[in-house]
Amino acid sequence: MGRTLITGGAGYIGIELADELLNAGREVTVLDRLLHGQTDRADELRERGVTVIEGDIRDPVARGHALKGAEAVVHLAAIVGDPACARDPELAQEVNVDASLALAAEAGEAGVEHFVMASTCSNYGRMADPTTPIDETGVLAPVSLYAEQKVTVETHLLSLDAAPFAVTCLRFATVYGVAPRMRFDLTVNEFTRDLWAQRELEVFGEQFWRPYVHVRDAARGIRTVLEAPRELVAGEVFNVGDTRENYRKLDLIERIREQTDKGTVSFVQRTEDPRDYKVSFEKVKAKLGYEITKTVPEGIGDLLAALDAGRFPDAFERRYRNIP
């Protein structure tokens, strides 16, 4: 097994992916700025034999160091999500577009054979008919800066003439679940935490559809692509998730309510997030044999158990979210 570079490898998905690849016998390098206080997590990765480079994806020196000896690159590092990108659009452009394109160019020069780009189902934006699941051939209609930037990078990578490496773009469903670098600013995690904590949860756009995938299954999806025959994944786009795991926010509340009666819920009118999309994940299942291992109700149960056990003594700490 060759060496894999994971940018953002000390993040929410990244740590889970590092664990997956170590278990598969791969050597792993992580490039991460440790922006969210993951020093302990980085030390744990080092103890397991991971080469951890603390550096910024925008820094060409750090990128060059991280690419040494890499056979594959999994590019997770990003300013993730609509709120974080809207907060600092200039930084989002530098990280999500400029640094991504530079990394890809340098990866080709470094002899990387496979470049896996982490993208998002948010690329589908607001569908004309969100009741019919959209597949990878569907029209991209991003309605946020974050999704627009992901579309830009996808388009560039997939249009490379005589690409120096195999390119695979993965459009992830909205991620959730308990993880070593925990995030409580993601819909399932946030709703579950707030109700568990006896808060009043305000929900908007409760009828809008989104797909969801457990963080470990997101990592497993990447491993599946890395281990697949090159001819099956080169130049391909895969939605990563499960078609049965499309939910409205209203459905999520009902699933949480089946496991706890804590907190209260109110529904409010807002217009700042018009995304509404139901996604098909049949391609990754049919072509690569990928299947999820966790459903949203199971993930909610894990979250409630972790909170009950005191795993997150203050689940509202700033380190558990990507923006202040």
Residues in the chain: 324
- Amino acid 184: pLDDT: 97
pLDDT tens per residue across span 272-321: 566 789 999 999 999 999 999 999 999 999 999 999 999 999 999 999 99
Average pLDDT on 83-96 reads 94
Q: What is the CATH superfamily name and number for domain 3-175+213-240?
A: NAD(P)-binding Rossmann-like Domain (3.40.50.720)
3-state secondary structure 249-273: HHHHHHHHHCCCCCCEEEEECCCCC
180-211+244-280+293-320 placed in CATH 3.90.25.10: yes
pLDDT at 107 over 90: yes
pLDDT tens per residue across span 5-18: 999 999 999 999 99
Pick from 260, 108, 278, 117: nearest CA to 199 = 260
DSSP letters, 71-129, are EEEEE--S--SHHHHHH-HHHHIIIIIIIHHHHHHHHHHTT-SEEEEEEEGGGG-B-S-
How many CB atoms sit inside 10 A of residue 123's CB? 26
pLDDT tens per residue across span 166-213: 999 999 999 999 999 999 999 999 999 999 999 999 999 898 899 999
The domains of the chain are located at 3-175+213-240, 180-211+244-280+293-320
* Tokens coding 171: 């459009």
pTM to 2 decimals? 0.96
pLDDT at 150 over 80: yes
pLDDT tens per residue across span 9-57: 999 999 999 999 999 999 999 999 998 889 999 999 999 999 999 999 9
Q: In what order do the strands lie in the sheet with 209-214?
A: 174-176, 209-214, 246-248
